[in-house]
Amino acid sequence: MDILEGIKRRRSIHSFKEEQVSKEILEQIFTYGSYAPTHYMKEPWKIKVYQGDGRKKFVQSIMKSYQRIGMIKDDDHPKTLKTIDSLSSFLLAIPHHAVIYYEQPDDRIRNEEEYASICAFIQNSQLAAWQFGVGMLWTITPYMHDPQFAKEIGLENEKIKIAAVMQIGYPKKIPIDKGRTPIGEKMEFVEF
């Protein structure tokens, strides 16, 4: 698929087949991702992929985080247990969860630069994945901002910031193209 067609055809994927994507393909996808522009060649992105049994502790930590931050009640009422059970099953059915993180610089501007280049890395990776028939969902969720969650999944360093969690796998269903606003409505040329 040509790169321009890939940009238009890629969709965020919400349901995945059980089959895992091989380590080789994931490495290739993120290698393409890493050709993103990066100020001072910092290449700030780091990736931890939770897959197979590695998803169990990851999903448990998400549930504990949701309880800590009040998104799920912190009790053992049957209704709470049912919520935890169904949310866990949903997350455990996703073959790979890739946590994209970086070490936050103290300087605010440098931090924006690092984050911007990580976003470029993520989009490059999503586009590369599409070429391999692999789907992704870029997620930003409340547990990403919970320092205890980061510690529990093995990101001990206090300076670490989780930029996104990518859900990855072969698409079960590809959503329809919602299209985009004509760019002319958002763009103007200033020539005087």
Ligand X SMILES: Cc1cc2nc3c(=O)[nH]c(=O)nc-3n(C[C@H](O)[C@H](O)[C@H](O)COP(=O)(O)O)c2cc1C
Taking the complex as a whole, the smallest distance from the CB of residue 23 to ligand X amounts, in Å, to 25
Residue pair 96/25 in contact by the 8 Å Cβ criterion? no
Q: Which of 84, 106, 108, 96 has its CA nearest to residue 54? A: 96
Taking the complex as a whole, the smallest distance from the CB of residue 192 to ligand X amounts, in Å, to 35
Among 32, 132, 138, 170, binds ligand X (CB under 6 A): 138
Instruction: Give phi and psi for 12, each to the nearest 5.
Output: -70, 130
* 186 secondary structure, DSSP code: T
Task: Using the minimum distance from each CB to ligand X, give the nearer residue, 104 or 126.
Answer: 126
The interface region with ligand X, picked from 26-34, 90-98, 134-142, 145-153 by CB under 6 A, is 134-142
Task: Using the minimum distance from each CB to ligand X, give the nearer residue, 12 or 88.
Answer: 12
Look up residue 133 and give its two tokens: 């028939």
CA distance 162 to 44: 12
Residue found by looking up tokens 């780091």 in the block: 46
Taking the complex as a whole, the smallest distance from the CB of residue 141 to ligand X amounts, in Å, to 6
State whether residue 61 is helix, strand or coil: helix
Residue pair 119/33 in contact by the 8 Å Cβ criterion? no
Among 141, 155, 160, 170, binds ligand X (CB under 6 A): 141
Exposure of 105 by Cβ count < 10 A (0-12 exposed, 13-18 middle, 19+ buried)? middle
- Over the window 1 to 40, marking each residue x when it contacts ligand X by CB under 6 A and - when it does not, the resulting string is ----------xx----------------------------
Among 22, 107, 140, 173, binds ligand X (CB under 6 A): 140
Does 139 help bind ligand X (rule: CB under 6 A)?
yes
Taking the complex as a whole, the smallest distance from the CB of residue 137 to ligand X amounts, in Å, to 6
Applying the rule CB under 6 A, the residues between 142 and 181 that interact with ligand X are 175
The helix or strand, by DSSP H or E, that contains position 170, with its residue range, turns out to be: none
Which residues here bind ligand X, judged by CB under 6 A? 11-12, 137-141, 175
